Copies of this chain bind each other. A is one copy, B any other.
């Protein structure tokens, strides 16, 4: 069900990302970014991109090294679940898949650099997946509803 993404998945990926970016409550991307800009970010060099394919594409994530060189043993991921497919455990499934992939690639830990603190569903999900908060940056995210809110750094050893 989860498989590597190809160029044929670009339309579906954008369909998932666009509403999430436009709402602007979770990712620090320009809310008015266009399709090309968003796909350039998601499929950036060094990103392994996957899709959750259940007849249609219901989720996507990328896996990369969080830093080059002497930081390249720590992985980083970004996940997105289609608005219409929320509550079905797809985020959890993608996270478990990414942890397995990262382990297989020899990464020693996974780090999330920027979990918006008001995104409580995500924070709970990452905690259930074994992540712990190791840092909190005051007011790092300009939330469209709540204003400046904290961003969390979360880590899980592999």
8 Å CB interface, A40-84 against B: 66-74
Question: At the interface, is chain A mostly helix, strand, loop or mixed?
Answer: strand
**Shortest distance between the CB of A130 and any CB in chain B (Å):** 14
| B153 and A137 contact, CB distance less than 8 A | yes
| A140 and B111 contact, CB distance less than 8 A | yes
State in angstroms the CA–CA spacing of A75 and B155 once bound together: 23
User: Quick check: is A18 within 8 A (CB to CB) of the other chain?
Assistant: no
User: Quick check: is A14 within 8 A (CB to CB) of the other chain?
Assistant: no
User: Quick check: is A4 within 8 A (CB to CB) of the other chain?
Assistant: no
Residue-wise, chain A 141-158 has the 8 Å CB interface mask toward B (1 for contact) of 111100010010101010
The segment out of A5-13, A28-36, A86-94, A95-103 that lies at the interface is A28-36
**Shortest distance between the CB of A37 and any CB in chain B (Å):** 9
| A142 and B73 contact, CB distance less than 8 A | yes
| B141 and A70 contact, CB distance less than 8 A | yes
**Shortest distance between the CB of A43 and any CB in chain B (Å):** 16
The residues of B that contact A28 with a CB separation of less than 8 Å are 67-72
12 A–B contacts from the bound complex (CB under 8 Å): A24-B70, A28-B68, A28-B70, A29-B69, A70-B142, A71-B114, A74-B137, A74-B140, A108-B139, A109-B139, A109-B140, A135-B135
**A-B pairs, 10 with minimum CB distance:** A135-B135, A28-B71, A28-B67, A30-B69, A70-B142, A29-B69, A135-B153, A28-B69, A28-B70, A134-B135
